[in-house]
Amino acid sequence: MIETVTPDLLITDGHMSEMTGPELVVELQGKNFTGQIIAVTGDGTSENGFNELGVNLLLKPYRLRQLVELINQLCPAPSEQITQ
């Protein structure tokens, strides 16, 4: 799907049923994905993998305000910023 749709932002978890979050990031980077990536994790193992990949990390548990602030920071659109 990433070949036909190029989102500005992708949010992923550290652990999914088919692959880990870091594995997904490596796959996306191999397909020249240019969007921003936010990874959410509560697992120290995934945290290390994400840090090595230069991904924006949000540790669980997090507040909605933290997610909104990070999205606005990564995808600024002054007239269209997300509000709570």
CATH of the domain at 53: 3.40.50.2300
Q: Indicate whether 2 belongs to any domain.
A: no
Q: Indicate whether 81 belongs to any domain.
A: no
Domains in the chain, number = 1
Per-residue pLDDT reduced to its tens digit, 19-45:
988 999 999 999 989 899 999 988 766
Instruction: Supply the pLDDT for residue 3.
Output: 66
Per-residue pLDDT reduced to its tens digit, 40-70:
988 766 677 788 888 999 999 999 999 999 9
Instruction: Supply the pLDDT for residue 24.
Output: 93
Q: Indicate whether 66 belongs to any domain.
A: yes
| Beta strands, E only, 1-84 | 9-13, 36-41, 56-59
Contact 26, 46 (CB under 8 A): no
What's the full length of the chain, in residues? 84
Residue span of the structural domain in which 64 resides: 9-76
| Beta strands, E only, 14-71 | 36-41, 56-59
Q: Indicate whether 14 belongs to any domain.
A: yes
Q: Indicate whether 17 belongs to any domain.
A: yes
Percentage helix, strand, coil, to 5, in the chain?
Answer: 40, 20, 40
pTM tops 0.85: no
Stated as kind and residue range, the H or E segment containing 54 is: none
Q: Indicate whether 1 belongs to any domain.
A: no
Q: Give 80's pLDDT tier (boundaries 50, 70, 90).
A: low
